A and B are shown apart, each in its own frame.
Chain A
């Protein structure tokens, strides 16, 4: 099963390699990873999408927590949270498909952020499922290039955080 885990880490040299090395070294799956500093510049927050059975997920959260540079580990699975991902999609849009591309972007509340005679680049945000759907619809028109940020998540309201520590 898919799990989305947030990890608060020291903003230190080499932390990313400790985390990614932990996953590769122990044979854990890593589907997406995003990382950036938090309000407190001495810490970074990572969002990791991984998968595995309960035992594997328990090991992953424990192993993450065991790293000295890890301050907090939160597995959002089963909790109430908001999940958003951003994608930049360069679509081959010429002649007849130009209008169609714009319409689709509009339906998905995407924004056109770059235009050339032969392409539109669309910026879209939403749940990973929404991004998937947008990509599927644009695919027949012709996607030249695609970049996704991987999801970031945050708990809803004051509650809904399951701390794994």
Chain B
């Protein structure tokens, strides 16, 4: 029996195990929406296509599965771009399906036609324009395969309306054959041997972990590796939750707003073992002074990440699980040397402990105004390890990274590479859709919240009980901080002159709103908010000009940290 293109698309999604779809209808996807009624796929109607893509992204980050979003052509498609770029920068597995005008009209400036393939080319892992219904199953199969394998990323499928309406027999291919795409998953054993030699010879080694560990679900392997050699571990923002912060070997985050001891350890190290990280400029600071004494081992699935920004002494291309397992196995061949190493590193660990004691992560407490860091600390106290925290972008994001002790992988969802304000709320929506029973909390700023606040409606409609903590400084705080420190306090366009009544805003959507400016009430408000069913906004009017510290000014070396302002 023949099926329409839109039915075939939905059959493919079912075959791929897609349970939840985030999207927004329109003229060129109306056929898909018509058929969707008959398929066992849960669709969540966001209030903006950007939010649909961020929601699919949050879903993917929280589960490790491929997130799927659907949008119409033209403005629907262009609205997805920020979401796609965001997923691309953080290597999130996603498939985005856009409707397109009928093939015969492509290129005619037809109503709601845009060249979305062209527009998104630099921010997708790959993309397809489906011109023949017979290619559709193969393309969808490939799209999911490409999205989730190798270094994951978003794949866009542009589906013209006439292809959706054409008829064909449905047959889903069971194998993927792409001759130009064979991600290398096996770490080269000779490189592994060399790495182990370098590790055994190190005096001041540091493990520097990036989002790759989260993406490949290898936090267990990482933990085993670090504990075996007793080498301190620092993580990027993207790897935050993949190594328990409370672990004695944990140095917390490195980079621009990293801990003093993480940055000092990296600068003094003689061996940097980079695992699934890409030496982003927010991590390295000034490149010419970065880790000057260190030999660098760089493990990554993506060869282009290696030697892109920094010199590398030993590259290992491969899947992190394979490489970490091989490293552990190789180390286990020399149990005596490993023991000696682990104990020889004691002075190094003591040095780091001293840095930690002299410069712990801290802030000046207050009894008269709410310190934003205090809210994060209290939030940590009143939630369990299982809670999923998302953030927007700004100071509140950095404070969450600094003061929340993550211990479970995939519990910290934040926009790292693109730094997208407006990511937190829709990604929380997606995570909550994936995990209805878990606590999902968006830590937000007053500025970022207003970039996708319309999603409150989606939360209420689908009974997604996301809790929202707004650290309201009535400023675009992070930009204000830069203006204060580097532009003579000329606060150009960073003060949000109009105070928003977030309680009323919540109520307008049928959600609950709580607010306080009293530090003594912080815990009570958090507890009450978390216990209240349904979506809740908890607004904390915080001290307005608090700064995120320490800070490595842009273009400075990691050891040129400003510790307090």
Interface residues of A (CB under 8 A from B): 9-10, 13-14, 17-18, 21, 25, 55, 58-59, 62-63, 65-71
Q: Which residues of B contact A63 (CB under 8 A)?
A: 304
14 contacts between A and B (CB under 8 A): A9-B180, A10-B180, A14-B117, A14-B118, A14-B129, A17-B121, A21-B121, A25-B122, A58-B307, A59-B304, A59-B308, A68-B181, A70-B180, A71-B179
The reply to whether A13 and B181 form a contact with Cβ atoms under 8 Å apart is no
- Least CB distance from B184 to A in Å reads 10
Q: Which residues of B contact A55 (CB under 8 A)?
A: 307
The reply to whether B180 and A68 form a contact with Cβ atoms under 8 Å apart is yes
**Whose C-beta in chain B lies nearest to the C-beta of A42?**
B179
Contact with A along B393-430 (1 / 0, CB 8 A): 00000000000000000000000000000000000000
**Whose C-beta in chain A lies nearest to the C-beta of B180?**
A71
Further contacts, 15 of them, CB under 8 A, given A14-B127, A66-B304, A71-B179: A10-B180, A14-B117, A14-B118, A14-B129, A17-B121, A21-B121, A55-B307, A58-B307, A59-B308, A62-B303, A63-B304, A66-B303, A68-B178, A68-B180, A69-B180
Q: How far is the CA of A154 from the CA of B122 in the complex (A)?
A: 30
Question: B125 near A: Cβ within 8 Å?
Answer: yes
Q: Which residues of A contact B307 (CB under 8 A)?
A: 55, 58-59
Q: Which residues of B contact A18 (CB under 8 A)?
A: 121
Q: How far is the CA of A9 from the CA of B178 in the complex (A)?
A: 12
Q: How far is the CA of A62 from the CA of B315 in the complex (A)?
A: 14
Counting chain A CB atoms within 10 Å of each CB, the highest count among B126, B127, B180 belongs to B180
Q: Which residues of B contact A62 (CB under 8 A)?
A: 303-304
Question: B302 near A: Cβ within 8 Å?
Answer: yes
Q: Which residues of B contact A17 (CB under 8 A)?
A: 118, 121
- Kindly identify, within residues 264 to 314 of chain B, every residue whose CB is under 8 Å from any CB belonging to chain A: 302-304, 307-308
Q: A14-B117, A18-B121 are in contact. Are A68 and B126 (CB under 8 A)?
A: yes
Counting chain A CB atoms within 10 Å of each CB, the highest count among B121, B127, B303 belongs to B303
- Kindly identify, within residues 105 to 137 of chain B, every residue whose CB is under 8 Å from any CB belonging to chain A: 117-118, 121-122, 125-127, 129, 131
Q: How far is the CA of A52 from the CA of B145 in the complex (A)?
A: 34
**Whose C-beta in chain A lies nearest to the C-beta of B123?**
A25
**Whose C-beta in chain B lies nearest to the C-beta of A12?**
B128
Q: How far is the CA of A55 from the CA of B306 in the complex (A)?
A: 10
Q: Which residues of B contact A66 (CB under 8 A)?
A: 302-304
Q: Which residues of A contact B122 (CB under 8 A)?
A: 21, 25
Q: How far is the CA of A68 from the CA of B131 in the complex (A)?
A: 19
**Whose C-beta in chain A lies nearest to the C-beta of B131?**
A13
Q: How far is the CA of A163 from the CA of B304 in the complex (A)?
A: 16
Q: How far is the CA of A13 from the CA of B106 in the complex (A)?
A: 14
User: Which of A13, A65, A67 is close to B303, meaning CB atoms less than 8 Å apart?
Assistant: A65
Q: How far is the CA of A70 from the CA of B304 in the complex (A)?
A: 15
Question: B537 near A: Cβ within 8 Å?
Answer: no
Q: How far is the CA of A71 from the CA of B129 in the complex (A)?
A: 20
